[in-house]
Amino acid sequence: MAEIPTAAISRLVTYLRILEQLETQDVSRTSSTDLAERAGVTAFQVRKDLAYFGRFGTRGMGYTVPILKRELVRVLGLNQTWNVVIVGVGRLGQAIANYPGASDYQFQYVGLFDVSPELVGRRVRDLTVQHISDLRDFVRDHRVDMGFLAVPPDRAQDAAQALVNAGVRGILNFAPVVIGPRPPEGRTAEGHSHNAAHALQESGDDWRGVIVENVDFLAGMKRLAFYILNPHLKDSPVPEDTA
């Protein structure tokens, strides 16, 4: 597949969301112009994003909503089951576990993990919260496709490492910190010592092939602050009137 910018994947998710909303409104056909207007991008951008994955429309005819929706579901891998564990079952983790729509598209919460004695053993939804020390055995005995990280910022790196050590290859990080393989303490910004580089290499090996996506509302707050101060740098959410 060609080099595809991450932003294009985010836009595909938005197009899918718009198609779902159109379907609930019994709109059966759409166009790159219509999708662009609703997504706040250009029609050219819509066509370019979709073209990475095939030809979904008929020139001049636009798109059939259920067909394009089905194709985007397939492209995004949402036509298969994804087993998810949540690490961190405080307010945020419970909000995620209980959020309506989170179980759409066969995302299934199969395990909840925390360290807090008040939480371990408690029932959340249909699951009993387990201690993080049981994560490795759980992942060995169950299929786990993703781990959601909903711990406090200062616990995120350790919890992420626990997921990686347990063999979870996909992490959705809700903590407003950068997680990943860590150089050892004492490493300077100028570069690694030989030992540091070696240690990073070892640490990096665990993380090789691990996919991390971030859902960071503090970052969202900061982006919003920037665009409120620099509105000319942002597409207005108001679609151009194409009538």
Binding residues: 88-93
State the binding site for NAD(+): 88-93
Q: Kindly write out the interface string for residues 196-225 of this chain, putting x where it contacts a copy of itself by CB under 8 A and - elsewhere.
A: xx--xx--x--xxxxxxxxxxxxxxxxxxx
Q: State which residue, 132 or 171, has the beta carbon closest to a copy of itself.
A: 171
Residue 169 near residue 148 (C-beta atoms within 8 A): no
Q: State which residue, 127 or 196, has the beta carbon closest to a copy of itself.
A: 196
Per CB under 8 A, 43 contacts a copy of itself = no
Per CB under 8 A, 59 contacts a copy of itself = no
Contacts with 209 (C-beta within 8 Å, 6 or more apart), sequence order: 169
Per CB under 8 A, 56 contacts a copy of itself = no
We find the least distance from the C-beta atom of residue 134 to a copy of itself, in angstroms, to be 23
Per CB under 8 A, 102 contacts a copy of itself = yes
Residue 108 near residue 115 (C-beta atoms within 8 A): no
**Quick one: which of 44, 66, 77, 121 contacts a copy of itself (CB under 8 A)?**
77
Q: Kindly write out the interface string for residues 141-180 of this chain, putting x where it contacts a copy of itself by CB under 8 A and - elsewhere.
A: ----xx-----xx---------------xxxx-x-xxxxx
Helical (H) or strand (E) element with 46: helix 43-51
We find the least distance from the C-beta atom of residue 8 to a copy of itself, in angstroms, to be 10
Number of residues in contact with a copy of itself, rule: CB under 8 A? 112
Strands (E), 33-121: 63-64, 82-87, 107-114
CA contacts within 13 A on the Cβ side of 52: 19
**DSSP codes of every residue in 140-203:** HHS---EEEE-S-HHHHHHHHHHHHHHT--EEEE-SSS--S--PPTT-BTTB--HHHHHHHHHH
Look at the block and give the residue holding tokens 């942002």: 234
We find the least distance from the C-beta atom of residue 202 to a copy of itself, in angstroms, to be 11
